[in-house]
């Protein structure tokens, strides 16, 4: 675990200043205090004041998502959530969840028994036991990328797929493309359906031609791409937007095997901007979800619910990150 000295070294300030930041002293700026707290959380240092008995206890439930190292998808989401929770004097416990935990104990019971006043849920699937129970839970609960209808205690946070897909299509149009396919993720996922609708809306708004064959479902894995790329090439696609970066990396690999050059012969766009995207060959153009912001947004939304402001959906802006996997259409 990091010490005060580690935090001081990282920020290039004195140990005394770090202490002031951690203790809420008045003679340092609010901005510096927040930097100290954010860095403490990032480095795994837990100031004593954060362990006080009267702190509100929150938890992050996570499954189907890696989060233990900075390269993994969930790491920054949890970090962002914790950074804001610290500022507001909340304790955060991260709990990996298994199907058997969900089968053995009701969600509300688990929360009450352990004294949690709110939860942020990452990576849950629609068929999970606890998802069904969220329809009627009385615990303030925020879901990442999942939506529960009509329960005032449950909110959804995610990235605005409509704006993301539209940015990607507009970027491709500016490069002369009109034959644009969507190689989507797994069917029966809320996010997959949202991105499909976003593709339909944006293609229609730009008067581009497409049909069912242009938007196949695959899976959210690199391996799934190879079953679909050939079909899209046969249709004459000059650009493929993929459901996530893994799928995009698989599409790049499959094209390479077929002797098709990227971006000269075909443009590929991903979704997420996971750390590996910049290191692909070629570096991937992708629709970025800012995971640190998603974690912060999760905290803001949970805090709203705890304060009886019934947020239904809180969506973040995506950003199109343009790298080298997209180029002007081949004449």
Contact assessment for residue 71 and residue 275, using Cβ atoms and an 8 Å cutoff: yes
**Interface with a copy of itself by CB under 8 A: which range of 104-112, 182-190, 211-219, 293-301?**
293-301
Q: Is 316 in the site for a copy of itself (CB under 8 A)?
A: yes
Q: Does residue 315 belong to the site contacting a copy of itself (CB under 8 A)? A: yes
Query: In 3-state terms, what secondary structure has residue 242?
Result: strand
Span from 92-100, 250-258, 289-297, 321-329 in contact with a copy of itself (CB under 8 A): 289-297
Q: Which one, of 283, 270, 213, lies nearest residue 241 by Cα?
A: 270
Are the C-beta atoms of residues 286 and 132 closer than 8 Å to each other?
Answer: no
**Cβ contacts of 148 within 8 Å, gap of 6 or more:** 131, 134, 135, 154, 156
Q: Nearest distance from residue 74's CB to a copy of itself, in Å?
A: 18
Q: Is 304 one of the binding residues for a copy of itself (CB under 8 A)?
A: yes
Interaction between residue 313 and a copy of itself (CB under 8 A)? yes
Of residues 311, 312, 305, the one with CA closest to residue 56: 305
- Which window, 93-101, 106-114, 230-238, 306-314, contacts a copy of itself (CB under 8 A)? 306-314
- Give the x/- contact pattern for a copy of itself in 107-146, rule: CB under 8 A: ----------------------------------------
**The only residue of 200, 253, 293, 322 in contact with a copy of itself, by rule CB under 8 A:** 293
Coil/strand/helix, residue 159: strand
Residue 41 near residue 79 (C-beta atoms within 8 A) = yes
Q: What would the two tokens of residue 180 be?
A: 């644009």
Size of the site for a copy of itself (CB under 8 A): 25
- Nearer to a copy of itself by Cβ, of 250 and 298: the residue is 298
Footprint on residues 185-244 left by a copy of itself (CB under 8 A): none
DSSP state of 46: -
Give the up-direction half-sphere exposure of residue 157: CA atoms within 13 A in the CB hemisphere.
30
- Which distant-in-sequence residues (6+ apart) come within 8 Å of 49 by Cβ? 22, 23, 24, 89
Maximum distance among all alpha carbons in the chain? Answer: 68
Stretch that binds a copy of itself, among 60-68, 120-128, 187-195, 307-315 (CB under 8 A): 307-315
Contact set with a copy of itself (CB under 8 A): 149-150, 152, 160, 163, 167, 290, 293, 296-297, 300, 303-304, 307-317, 319
């Amino acid at each position: 675990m990091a010490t005060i000295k580690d935090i001081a070294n990282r920020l290039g300030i004195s140990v005394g200043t770090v202490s002031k930041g951690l203790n809420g002293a008045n003679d340092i700026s609010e901005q510096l205090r927040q930097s100290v707290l954010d860095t403490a959380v990032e480095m795994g240092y837990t100031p004593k004041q954060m362990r006080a008995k009267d702190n509100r206890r929150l938890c992050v439930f996570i499954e189907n998502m890696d989060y233990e190292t900075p390269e993994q998808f969930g790491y920054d989401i949890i970090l962002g959530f914790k950074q804001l929770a610290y500022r507001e004097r909340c304790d955060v416990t991260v709990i990996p969840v298994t199907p058997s935990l969900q089968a053995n104990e009701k969600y509300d019971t688990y929360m009450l028994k352990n004294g949690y006043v709110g939860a942020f849920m990452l990576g849950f699937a629609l068929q999970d036991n606890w998802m069904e129970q969220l329809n009627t839970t009385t615990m303030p609960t925020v879901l990442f990328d999942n939506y529960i209808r009509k329960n005032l205690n449950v909110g959804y946070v995610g990235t605005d797929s409509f704006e993301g897909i539209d940015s990607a299509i507009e970027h491709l149009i500016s490069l002369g493309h009109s034959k644009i396919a969507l190689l989507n993720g797994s069917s029966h996922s809320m996010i997959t359906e949202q991105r499909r609708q976003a593709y339909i809306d944006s293609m229609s708004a730009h008067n581009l031609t497409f049909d069912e064959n242009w938007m196949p479902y695959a899976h959210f894995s690199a391996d799934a791409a190879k079953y679909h790329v050939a079909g899209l090439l046969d249709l004459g696609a000059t650009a493929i937007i993929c459901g996530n970066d893994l799928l995009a990396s698989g599409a790049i690999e499959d094209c390479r095997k077929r002797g098709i050059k990227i971006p000269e012969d075909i443009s590929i766009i991903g979704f997420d901007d996971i750390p590996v995207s910049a290191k692909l060959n070629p570096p991937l153009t992708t629709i970025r979800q800012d995971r640190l912001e998603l974690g912060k947004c999760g905290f803001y939304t949970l805090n709203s619910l705890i304060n009886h402001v019934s947020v239904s959906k809180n969506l973040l802006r995506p950003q199109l990150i343009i790298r080298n996997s997209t180029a002007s259409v081949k004449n």
